[in-house]
């Protein structure tokens, strides 16, 4: 596998892992806190969702063009 493809997959995995942690734990922990953590984490979740979408789209283009090897 080419490094570029491995890198894309690794980044997607790490992004998805961070999203899961934010959605499953961090937002709940920040709920009701007397700070702006919930707002910050919500913004980070939105950014990570956009990054995951971009990574998936790029990987899909590599697959469609038979460049995933």
pTM: 0.87
CA–CA distance, 50 with 8 (Å, rounded to integer): 14
Mean pLDDT of 9-20: 98
The Cα-based distances of 57 to 31, 44, 50, 61, 63 in angstroms read 32, 20, 11, 6, 10
pLDDT recorded at residue 49: 98
pLDDT at residue 45 greater than cutoff 90: yes
pLDDT in tens, 47-68: 999 999 999 999 999 999 888 7
pLDDT at residue 69 greater than cutoff 80: no
pLDDT in tens, 32-43: 899 999 999 999
């Amino acid at each position: 596998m080419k490094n570029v493809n491995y890198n894309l997959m690794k980044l997607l995995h790490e992004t998805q892992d961070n999203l899961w942690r934010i959605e499953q734990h961090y937002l709940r922990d920040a709920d009701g806190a007397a700070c702006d953590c919930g707002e910050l984490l919500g913004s980070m979740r939105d950014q990570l969702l956009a990054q995951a979408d971009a990574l998936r789209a790029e990987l899909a283009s590599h697959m469609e063009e038979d460049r995933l090897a």
